[in-house]
Structures are given as structure tokens and as C-alpha cells.
Structure 1
Amino acid sequence: MPLPDLPTPERLGALLHRLAAGLLERDTAARLALLGALAGEHVLLIGPPGTAKSELARRLHRAFAGASYFERLLTRFSTPEELFGPLSLKSLEDDRYERLTTGFLPTAGIAFLDEVFKANSAILNALLTLLNEREFDNGSGRQRTPLISVVGASNELPADEALQAFFDRFLLRVPVAPVGDASFEALLRLPPAQAGEAGASPLTEAERQAIGQAAQRVHLSAEAVAACTALRAWLAAQGKAVSDRRWRQWVGLMRTAAATEHRTQVDGLDLWLAPYVAGAAADEMAALAEWFEADWLHAVPQTFEWLTRAVEAFEQQLQIEQTAPPEDAAEADDAAGKLALARAIGLGEGSDAGSAMPRLTLAGLEARMRRHYSPVHIAARLTQTDELIGHTLAHHTALASEALALAERLQARLWIPPHLAERWNAAHAESLERLQALLARLQQARAGFAELPVDEALPAIAPAPVPLEEPATA
């Protein structure tokens, strides 16, 4: 049973709407920021200035009741005092080196650190412990902090190897870019104030604890384990790896996603997060997204190359048999001469009742110019065509069932951005449409074989099957 204080998906959806209101093309970033915070993880926003990174962090702070907020732009000249508070003069008088942390990062619930990789080593070393352990060394003692999540921001990825440990503290790396052309007019027409204040009330501490408790009760399904194993092998083939600590944090993130959607287990669909957890640069994220959609989810438009070539082979064979001349050359020449004469004198061109017989005569002459086939020949062609039609129908049925199952699963997912769900559903729809078109062509070819001229007197010899390649295995 759900915990009493566990927020419903509808309540969290309202918070997401509030978080992203007026922030064009920031739906993914908003979802990942809130999900990361609920899981107690940190989020790095990567993009140029003026892309609403700080605004998103401020709104995230308003999603948590009672959480204090801290924000600072870091430079190489930033001092520890700017982040952790000034030294306490009273403590110095007592020979203690302590800071007054009230109102600074060690007492913040949500913090936004802009240009986070430009800080000096003194700040970065202190941040490592604070981000990972939620503790701050103050003088001779170490104090616990109420930190929920840090939202970091940077215009670019860190190039210095010394920054990699700090970079790894951000489980989620989310690219943000200026709005695209499709949203540019909407950007210009936005009202002056889009603070996102209206909407759902912020999450209470009890609700946050309920989410954490529910996440601990979520287990990994066999599908999720298989997906993670497949991804690990794929990453290894690319010469990349995810640390054990990062895998554990990622599992915790997926458990939080499942718990907040009132699911009892993590499944393979939760690996849609792969680009933002296992990727860093834009090309890595794109490759991971392609792996998930194509190799794991199979939610990309399929081309059905083997089936297309098979359909083309049947169509070509039909054309050959429809246009083949009679085996009796003399009969063909006689029919051709009579057909030419009939057309020259206008037989078959009239539209009155008296012209029906001439048209039949003309059709008969045309039929004499086509090759006839035995019933066994035609039956063999229909049998082979029916086999391929049956294969195609079975594939269509299986794909339609898979598409329906995915659509139903996506309806219950809070965190998957709608544009991703739409893309995956559209990919299946496009694949089904292509299969339907190939099926129609096959049925048309079958009808053509069934209408071939028949001669019962011909030897009952079955033709060689239409040559087809072996279908590619999945």
C-alpha cells in the first residue's frame, strides 16, 4: 500500500507544470531537476548564458516547503567565504577556526552554483564532501547539512582532468540550448512575468521522506537488470564505462521515479535516463539515446528491407509472367496480326450495345497473345504469396501489440518527457503504416497471379519458387 504522505503522480505533475510554466523547451530539464532533487541527486545544466538555468533552479527551490535557497556565480577569484560563510571572530578569540554558515551553502536546501567549474581548488575540495556526504567541515567538527540538491551550471564541459571527480558528483547532466525556430515566436510573445508561482503547493518534509521510504521498497525487475547489462556491454564496446558508484546512484534515481509513479519495480523503460546519466558530451548523449530507442526499445521507424525486397521480387515475377508471349510463336503472330487489323477498323472502340461483341473479340485476341499457365503453376504462385502474406500479417500483429503495450506504459509515466513518448509512438505508427503498405502490395500481386490466363491442358508442372533472400535475424 502507498505510504500516507506519498504524493500522487497528479500532484507531482502539477508541480512539474508549475516548474516549467513559461520556460519554452525546458520540459526535460524541469523533469530531471525535480526527479534528481527527489532522489537527493545533483543536476548539472550545460548551456550558454540566457537559457533560464538560474530561473529553473529558483523554481526548483519553491517546490520544497521550508527549504532555504543559496545562489552564487563562481569565478577563479571566488573565496570560500562567499560560499561557506565568513570566519567567526568570536571563535577566533577562543582559538577556534569556524565559519558563520547561516544563510550560506552549508545551510541551504537547494543551491544554484553558476559557472561551477571555474571555482578554485580550495572551494572544489570542500564542495566534494558537501555534495557527496551532505556534510561540511567547520573548524574541528563536521556538521550535517540540510542539502536536498545542488543545481550546477556551466557553459561548457570541464576540460581539466582534475575537475573530473567534481564533475562526477552531478548524476544528471542536462543540455540546455536557446529555443529553436519553432518556439521563437512564442518566446517573443511571452508575458513579462512567468514566475510559475501559481499551482500546486510545495512538497513537505513528510512527503519527501515518504518518497524516500517508497523508493527503498522498489525492486529491480529482470527486464531492468537485462537492460542495464546490455547497456554496460554496449558502453564497454564504445570504450566507455560507468563507475560502480554511479550505477548505484542511477538505480536509486530509477527507484525514485518508480515510487513516485506508484510502481513497485524498475523496468527497462526507466533506462530512458541513460543519455543524461551515462553521457557527457552532446555526441555521447545522442549515441545513448539512439541505443535506447533503437537497440533496446525498438521504437524507431523500421524499413523492413528484406520484406521490401521480397515484395519487389514477387512484383517483378508477376510482371514477367503477365507480359510473357505464348509458347506457340505461330499462334502469337496470328493473334497479333488479327489484333492489329481489328484495331485498324475500330473494333472494340464503340460504346453502343452493338459494339459489345467486337470488344469481346478484341479481348479474346489480346488473351491469345499472352502466355497461359497450368492450374498447378498458378496454385504454386498463390501458395508462396500466401506464405509471405501470412508472415507479414503475423509481423504486423506482433508490432501492433508491441506498440499498444508501449503506449499504455507511457500513459502512466510521469517523468518521461511528452515529446519522447510522442516520438516513440509515432515511430511505431510509421512502421505499422509501412507494413500495411507492403501487405497491400503483396495482396495486389496475389490477385495478379490469380488472374493469369489458365490452360487446363498444360502439363501440371509447378514452377520454381520466386527466389527470396533469408530474412535478417533480430
Structure 2
Amino acid sequence: MTREDTSGAVWAPMLVELERGLLQRDVAARALLLAALAGEHVLLLGPPGTAKSELARRLQRLLSGAHYFERLLTRFTVPEELFGPLSLRALEDDRYERLTEGYLPSAEVAFLDEVFKANSAILNTLLGLLHERQFDNGSQRLPVPLVCLVGASNEQPQDDSLLAFYDRFLLRVPVQPVDDAHFTALLLADTPAAGDTPADALINPADLKALRERAPAVRLGDDALALLLQARQHASETGQTVSDRRWRQLVALLQLQAASRGASAISPWDLWLLPFVLAADPAQVPGWTTLFMHAVAHTAPLPLDGLEHAVQAFESQLDTERRAPPDAQDDSAGKLALARAITRPGEESEMVRITSARALRRYSPVHLEARVAQCDELLDRLLALHGEWLAQAHAVLAQARAHPWLPPSWLLQVEAAHAERCSHLARLCAQHQSTRNGFAALPMDDALYDHPEPVHWNAP
């Protein structure tokens, strides 16, 4: 694989480096790398101790020679702590300028913790710095080299005055402590040493420049456009406001993601980013995630009520026919009573066993053939549907596994959903096969001729 190759494999080593030794950070790592490639900013929402700052530091190491700046903001933080002290020499010449070297205006990657606790003077300066990539230093407006600012907070801003600043973060990713399933792995995990970043994990400036030049040419395909229209409808139905600018920024980010994997058009699978661009509140993320999973990964529960009721109807009919007493003219019941009467308590003679079998209702060959034929009709429908679901699962999983940016944790969810769906239908097939075999094994009398009423079942 050469560096000129534009497939997702070029960026894979960078994801490996971002995630190395971290548990359940695949979504945040992918969002962070895509944001950096696109020149956008990321907000990580979650409690302390969830590797937010570590991810930012790792991103800086992917940019060879990049400067890094990090600060914890409080309401007492002053502009000098972020933008640099005033230049005494400039003041002597009646100029109000800052010494920005080593501070935020000189950094390519920055991490600001508790970012919403800054005062208005700092936030106003940050607004221009994030959006326009410029810093007003005295009478000069200077460009800044900022590639990506990573903000962190325990919660989203509650003050309306912070909404404009909040909107500057295109990607807003919830980050939570590891769950119970990964707790043991967390305790046993070795702390990864910083070390030198592997050469293939460094972001090549030439590659990045070429990627950004290709991205605008990527088409918004019909499938992706239909999903975006569906997303807009979801936002309207749930009362979520998404600005026109954010929709445009989302498409630009999707174009870059598609270009990074060598595609000429946006794929529906690229839209896994929807929850982290469109959700204004972490509580809204699950709804957007479900929208993607159902629309793209086809994980929505499929209606089986009709078929399950049909299987149950045949089971109930089989139970009824097994328990049915013999015909009135059949003296098997009397013979069974006599056999039991002459058998010692606690013993079951061969006579009782044989007589018990003969004491059941017998059915004609026509009856059994009709029951088996009707069971086979339903079984054929179940097996055909199972084949359709398996084919769909194979197609969906092939697409999901081929997408280099889809988080592995999401892939596991897709695999589990399709496995459970196919397993459920397979169990239903096996259950009905057993019922079908039960009808075929009912006692038969060749001398009888009766055509049963069909079992009534209504399945779609």
C-alpha cells in the first residue's frame, strides 16, 4: 500500500494508534481523526477520567512537528493563560500585542477542558479563532495554524449565551466510562507507553492536502440523499433544530470520509456520523443511532407475529388431536382400564403399554396427509423467509465490514441484531418441523376416511 493510495487503509494505522490500549473509544477516535482531516473541531462530553485529554494528545502526535496546547478552564481563567501575556516592548510603543508563542494561537492541536466554564471575554476570542482560524493580536488579524481543537465538558451548556460557541464544534461525541462487560479488561490492561509514533501512523501533509482537494468532487448519491431527507424528517418530528450551516458541514464531512476510502460517492454507511453531528443533546444520540441502524444496517425488528401465531395454531391442533379420545365404537378405552386393573401398583406391564397406544384416537391416511401438507406449506414459507433474512444479513455485514470508518462496536451491534433475527426464525422453523413430524406420527387406521377441516392461520 503506497501513500498515494486513497483507500481507507492509509488511515487505518492512525486509528490503531489513537485507540491503542483504550477500551470502548472507537467512536471517539474515529470522530477525532475525521475531524482533524476535515479541519473541524470536536467536543467530547463525559465525566473526568474517560481518556478525553489522552485522545487529544495522541492526535497531536499523529501530526509530525505539531504544537500542542492544553488548559483546564474555570470562571477565573484569564485571557493571558490561553492567548499569551502582553508584550511589554509593544506596550512601550503603544501597541497592545500578545506573545503567542507556546499558547493557543500557535498550536495545531489544542485541548480545552471544561470549555464552557470560560468567561465571555475568552469565549468571544475563541469564536473567531475556531471559525475563521484567525486571531486578533493588537491591530493585526493573524492566521493561526489550528487544525483541530478538542473541547471537553461534563455536560452540554445550559446557558443560551453559549450556544453559538457550542455550535462551533461540528462533532459532539458522548464518552462514558467502560461498561461492566469491559471492566475486567480495564483492570488487567497495561498502561501504554507514549513512545514514538510509527511512521505509517503519521498524517502525511501531502496526503491530507490531496484528500481535501478530492473531497468536494465526491457526489451525494441518491441513497445517501434519501437518508438525509429521512434524517431531516426525524429532526422535525422530534423537535430538533439543525441549522442550514450544519447540514452543509455534515455533507462536506461525509464527502471527505468517502474520499478517504477512495469512493466517488457518499455511501449510506458514511452516515454513521449522523448522531454526532446532528444531536444537540447526548440524550438525542440513541435516537439518531437507531435511525441509522434501522435505515442502513436493517436491524429493525421484523414482524413475525402472524407466523408465530400460525406455528402456535398448529401446535395447539396437534395437542388436541393427540389428546382426543377414541371413537365411541372403539373399545380400546375399556381394554386399557382392564389392563391397568390387573397390573400391580408401581408396575407397567407390556400389556398396559400396548393397550395405551391403541387407546388413542386413530386418524385416516387422508387426515394425516392433509395435516402434513398444510404444515409443509407453512414450513416452506418459514424456510423461504429464513433464506431471505440470511441473504440480507450476509449482504449487510459484507458492506459493514468493508467500511473502514464504521466503529467496530457498531459492527458488533449489527452482527448481533442479524444473528438474533436469523436465529429466532431458525428456532421457529425447528419448532414447526417438530409439529409437522408430530402430525405424521399420529396413530393411523387405513380403514378410516376422514378429511379434516384445515387449521386456520393468517400469516402475512
Q: TM-score, normalised by structure 1?
A: 0.87
Q: Which moved more, 1:50-59 or 1:297-306?
A: 297-306
Offset of residue 311 of structure 1: 0.9
Corresponding residue for 1:451? 441
Provide Cα deviations, 1:236-260, integer angstroms capped at 9, x if missing partner: 1111132221122122222222222
Contact 1:19/1:196, CA 8 A, preserved across alignment? no
Amino acid of the residue matched to residue 336 of structure 1? A
The alpha-carbon deviation at position 44 of structure 1 amounts to: 0.7
Residue of structure 1 in register with 2:378 after alignment: 388
- The alignment status of 1:335 with 2:326, answered yes or no, reads no
Distance in 1, matches of 2:219 and 2:2, equals: 16
- Residues 45-79 of structure 1: per-residue CA shift (max 9 Å, x gap): 11222222112111101111232222222222222
Correspondence for 1:370: 361
Letter matched to residue 146 of structure 2:
L
1:137 paired residue number: 136
Q: Separation in 1 of the partners of 2:205 and 2:90? A: 33
CA distance in 2, matches of 1:111, 1:77: 20
Which residue does the alignment assign to 1:308? 308
Greater Cα offset, 247-256 or 273-282: 273-282
Q: Counterpart in 2 of 1:289? A: 289
1:5–1:210 CA contact under 8 A, matched in 2: no
Q: CA deviation at 1:367?
A: 3.9
- Measure how far apart 1:118 and its partner are: 0.8
CA contact (8 A) 2:336 2:352 kept: no
Q: Percent of pairs identical after alignment? A: 49
CA distance in 2, matches of 1:188, 1:443: 48
Query: 2:70 maps to which residue?
Result: 71
Give the Cα separation in 2 of the matches to 1:137 and 1:434.
63
Q: Does 1:45 align with 2:36?
A: no
Matched with 1:466 is: 455
1:18–1:3 Cα change, 3 Å: closer
Structure 2 CA distance, aligned partners of 1:382 and 1:192?
A: 63
Q: Which moved more, 1:125-134 or 1:290-299?
A: 290-299
Measured in 1, the distance between the counterparts of 2:220 and 2:439 equals 54
Match runs of 1:107-146 below 5 Å: 107-146=106-145
Change (3 A) 1:65 1:8: farther
Distance in 2 (CA, whole Å) between partners of 1:196 and 1:156 is 32
- The alpha carbon displacement at 1:437 in A equals 1.0
Q: Taking structure 1 as reference, are residues 201 and 295 closer, same or farther at Cα in structure 2, changes over 3 Å only?
A: closer
| Alpha carbons of structure 1 residues 3 and 123: separation in structure 2 relative to 1, 3 Å | farther
1:239 corresponding residue in structure 2 = 239
Aligned-partner SS, 2:69 = strand
2:177 alignment partner, SS class: coil
The equivalent residue for 2:212 is 212
**1:28-427, aligned counterparts within 5 Å?**
28-92=27-91, 95-191=94-190, 194-195=193-194, 197-199=196-198, 200-294=200-294, 296-299=296-299, 304-326=304-326, 328-329=327-328, 331-332=329-330, 334-344=331-341, 362=354, 366-367=357-358, 369-373=360-364, 375=366, 377-427=367-417
202-211 or 336-345: bigger deviation: 336-345
Deviation of 1:99 (Å)? 3.2
Unmatched runs of 5 consecutive residues or more in structure 1? none
In 2, Cα distance between equivalents of 1:25 and 1:63: 20
- Output the amino acid matched with 1:404: H
The 3-state SS of whatever aligns with 2:71 is strand
Corresponding residue SS for 1:170: coil
Separation (CA, whole Å) in 1 of partners of 2:46 and 2:103: 25
**Residues 302, 435 of structure 1: alpha-carbon distance in 2 compared, 3 angstrom cutoff:** same
2:422 to 415, 426, 432: 432
| Shift, 1:83, TM fit | 2.1
Q: Please give the TM-score of this superposition, normalised by the length of structure 2.
A: 0.89
User: Mean alpha-carbon deviation: is it higher for 161-170 or for 221-230?
Assistant: 221-230
Aligned-partner Cα distance in 2 for 1:134–1:105: 11
Query: Once the two structures are superposed, what CA deviation does each residue of 1:139-183 show, in whole Å capped at 9, x if it has no partner?
Result: 344322222111001122111011111111111112223333444
Secondary structure in 2 matching 1:100: coil
Q: Distance in 2 between matches of 1:197 and 1:412?
A: 30
Q: What do residues 186-215 of structure 1 show as CA deviations (whole Å, max 9, x unaligned)?
A: 444444553263433411211111221232
Residue ranges of structure 2 left out of the alignment (5+ in a row): none
Asked whether the 8 Å contact 2:84–2:99 carries over to 1, the reply is: yes
**What is the aligned residue count?**
457
Amino acid paired to 2:361: R
Contact 1:276–1:285, Cα closer than 8 Å, also in 2 = yes
